[in-house]
């Protein structure tokens, strides 16, 4: 670990490890993970049924001999059926906010929390955070891992850490100004909201000490990132994680801003065809499947994330050897089908972001009318839009045309007043599917 300001790496040796050494390290850790997992009631049964023991692994690719773990397994074995360690050594529990049924629960030991904090420190160091910086976290604290996850990581790095927590934008801005915050963590939809409040308060964010933004936890397009960077006068780095894999600190962009490095010493990455479960050809989009390699209380093996992405081929000029994944295209369960066409919300966002007359808050509603699927896109206007009805109508037609080109069906587009769509405190809700309600 590195606390000096001159070095480019938090842990140079591990971040620049050769591919051969990395594979060897992964193999050793994978064997250990399987041996540990066998102590949980769930994996004990799975391994017995499938005749699995650590010595079936000759190479890392032999992981394919093991079955997948899914969210349903976590729910069905709620709360502790996948816990492999002794609960007396467990020190923290996070749970997801599942809307139906049991939530998913992840339990951590002291070792797990320390490993997690180190990974988050590694990410933050990579984008330039140092112990002389002030790091402000606008995530919700509590069960959502963006709060405590970043808190302990930034503290491990040695930055002065401000646990501002979610909401209260005026107070966030006061903290940024008074404490000279240099790096802010925010979910992308909130970063936009904050930029708007800066404007309302008559403060130019470019005049503050803020230089770096860490954004993640929800899908966003590269266009959205650029817009946020411009509005707040910062460099914004994409951060990927999920509670089942600790939380944040799983994959993170470096200063090249071209894909997120996946920390392969702690996670084994597979990209599979979500239909067949077979590996996708190199560089192609598929479902991300992850195995923890450094977790002792609750290891997960071949966990199906439902997130769709691809591995970016080639080496990164930053010198880190850990693979890079592309921006998350969506979740396989986010995709909706309208008139037989598969659509991801990000395809719609990509078009909306092109228009300066539009704000960033939008809502897609799927409904049925006369036995036909309909798609309604409501989007807030920005301060740059006009009041002139004819001009607005022309803009509406142009956006509708571009949306049709992208998603192949014609949506009903409604331009609505700024601030009129619901603004969530946590992750933005972009799609409302009312089709099932009428059945
Ligand atoms: O969102 C952990 C986190 C907190 C990540 C703070 C980054 C920053 P969950 O609430 O379990 O955990 O949600 C995980 O969010 O499977 C993805 O679908 C989505 N997601 C997370 N990061 C990104 C990202 C946290 N950078 C789920 N881009 C994941 C797109 C993301 N989607």
Judge whether residue 439 has pLDDT over 50. no
Question: 263 CA to middle of ligand 1, Å?
Answer: 16
Residue with CA closest to ligand 1 atom 25: 242
Q: What is the mean pLDDT of residues 376-393?
A: 90
Place of tokens 């910086």: 133
- Reported as type and span, the H/E element at residue 119 is helix 110-126
Please give the number of the atom of ligand 1 that sits closest to the Cα of 144.
10
Backbone angles phi, psi at 248, to 5 degrees: -65, 165
User: Of 50-54, 166-170, 311-315, 336-340, which gets the smallest average pLDDT?
Assistant: 336-340
Cβ atoms 304, 70 nearer than 8 A = yes
**308 or 54, which is more confident?**
308
CA proximity to 338, closest of 347, 350, 329:
347
Judge whether residue 4 has pLDDT over 70. no
pTM (whole model) above 0.85: yes
Q: Do the bridges between strand 105-109 and strand 324-325 make them parallel or antiparallel, or are there none, so unpaired?
A: unpaired
Q: Is the CB of 411 under 6 A from ligand 1?
A: no
Q: Do the bridges between strand 212-216 and strand 235-240 make them parallel or antiparallel, or are there none, so unpaired?
A: parallel
Dist CA 191 CA 17 (whole Å): 35
Backbone angles phi, psi at 105, to 5 degrees: -125, 135
List for the chain the helix, strand, coil content (%; round to 5). 35, 25, 40
Dist CA 342 CA 211 (whole Å): 38
Please give the number of the atom of ligand 1 that sits closest to the Cα of 334.
18
Question: 241 CA to middle of ligand 1, Å?
Answer: 5
Cβ atoms 185, 157 nearer than 8 A = no
| Each residue's pLDDT tens digit, 289-299 | 999 999 999 99
% of the chain at pLDDT higher than 90: 85
Judge whether residue 386 has pLDDT over 90. no
Q: Is the CB of 246 under 6 A from ligand 1?
A: no
pLDDT for 2: 65
Helices 169-179 and 188-200, packing angle to 10 deg? 80
| Each residue's pLDDT tens digit, 230-289 | 999 999 999 999 999 999 999 999 999 999 999 999 999 999 999 999 999 999 999 999
Residue 267, judged by CB atoms within 10 A of its CB (0-12, 13-18, 19+), counts as: buried
Residue with CA closest to ligand 1 atom 13: 242
| Each residue's pLDDT tens digit, 190-222 | 999 999 999 999 999 999 999 999 999 999 999
Q: Is the CB of 307 under 6 A from ligand 1?
A: yes
Question: 217 CA to middle of ligand 1, Å?
Answer: 3
Strand, helix or coil at 337?
Answer: strand
> CA-CA-CA-CA torsion for 352, 353, 355, 358, nearest 10 degrees?
70
Judge whether residue 228 has pLDDT over 80. yes
Dist CA 225 CA 195 (whole Å): 13
Question: 290 CA to middle of ligand 1, Å?
Answer: 14
Dist CA 413 CA 379 (whole Å): 8
Q: Do the bridges between strand 372-381 and strand 412-416 make them parallel or antiparallel, or are there none, so unpaired?
A: parallel
Question: 123 CA to middle of ligand 1, Å?
Answer: 15
Judge whether residue 144 has pLDDT over 60. yes
Please give the number of the atom of ligand 1 that sits closest to the Cα of 260.
26
- Reported as type and span, the H/E element at residue 291 is strand 286-292
Q: What is the mean pLDDT of residues 111-138?
A: 98
Q: Is the CB of 359 under 6 A from ligand 1?
A: no
pLDDT for 199: 93
pLDDT for 270: 98
Q: Look over the chain and give the mean of its residue pLDDT values, rounded to a whole number.
A: 94
% of the chain at pLDDT higher than 70: 97
Judge whether residue 415 has pLDDT over 80. yes
Question: 287 CA to middle of ligand 1, Å?
Answer: 15
Peptide bond connecting 333 to the previous residue in cis, omega within 30 degrees of 0: no
Q: What is the mean pLDDT of residues 325-329?
A: 95
Widest CA span of the chain, in angstroms? 72
Q: Is the CB of 219 under 6 A from ligand 1?
A: yes
**Chain mean position to CA 189:** 13
Work out the pLDDT band at 3, boundaries 50, 70, 90: low
CA proximity to 238, closest of 326, 319, 320, 112:
326
């Amino acid at each position: 670990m590195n606390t000096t300001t001159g070095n480019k790496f938090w842990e140079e040796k591990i971040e620049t490890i050769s591919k051969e050494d990395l594979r060897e390290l992964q193999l050793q850790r994978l064997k250990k993970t399987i041996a540990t997992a066998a102590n949980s009631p769930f994996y004990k049964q799975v391994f017995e049924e499938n005749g699995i023991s650590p010595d079936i692994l000759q190479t890392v690719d032999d992981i394919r001999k093991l079955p997948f773990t899914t969210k349903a397994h976590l729910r069905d074995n709620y709360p502790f059926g996948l816990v492999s360690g002794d609960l007396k050594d467990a020190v923290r529990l996070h749970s997801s906010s599942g809307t139906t049924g049991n939530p998913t629960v992840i339990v951590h030991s002291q070792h797990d929390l320390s490993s997690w904090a180190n990974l988050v420190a590694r990410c933050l160091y990579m984008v330039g955070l140092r112990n002389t910086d002030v790091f402000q976290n606008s995530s919700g604290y509590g069960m959502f891992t963006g709060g405590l996850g970043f808190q302990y990581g930034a503290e491990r790095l040695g930055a002065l850490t401000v646990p501002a927590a979610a909401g209260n934008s005026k107070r966030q801005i006061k903290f940024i100004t008074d404490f000279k915050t240099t790096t802010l963590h925010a979910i992308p939809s909130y970063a936009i909201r904050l930029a708007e409040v800066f404007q309302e308060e008559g403060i130019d964010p470019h005049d503050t000490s803020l230089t770096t933004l860490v954004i993640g936890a929800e899908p966003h397009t590269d266009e959205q990132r650029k817009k946020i960077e411009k509005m707040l006068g910062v460099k914004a780095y994409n951060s990927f994680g999920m509670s089942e894999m600790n939380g944040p600190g799983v994959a993170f962009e470096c200063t090249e801003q071209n894909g997120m490095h996946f920390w392969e010493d702690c996670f084994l990455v597979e990209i599979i065809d979500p239909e067949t479960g077979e590996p996708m050809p190199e560089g192609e989009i598929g479902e991300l499947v992850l195995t923890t390699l450094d977790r002792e209380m609750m290891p997960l093996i071949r966990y199906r994330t439902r997130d769709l992405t691809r591995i970016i081929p080639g080496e990164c000029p930053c010198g880190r050897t850990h693979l890079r994944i592309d921006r998350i295209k969506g979740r396989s369960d986010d995709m909706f089908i309208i008139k037989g066409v598969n659509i991801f919300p990000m395809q719609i966002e990509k078009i909306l972001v092109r228009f300066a007359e539009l704000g960033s808050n939008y809502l897609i509603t799927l409904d049925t009318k006369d036995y036909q699927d309909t798609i309604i896109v409501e989007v807030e206007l920005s301060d740059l839009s006009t009041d002139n009805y004819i001009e607005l109508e022309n803009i509406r037609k142009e956006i509708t045309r571009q949306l049709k080109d992208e998603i192949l069906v014609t949506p009903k587009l409604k331009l609505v007043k700024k601030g009129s769509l619901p603004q969530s405190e946590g992750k933005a809700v972009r799609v409302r599917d009312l089709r099932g309600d009428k059945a």
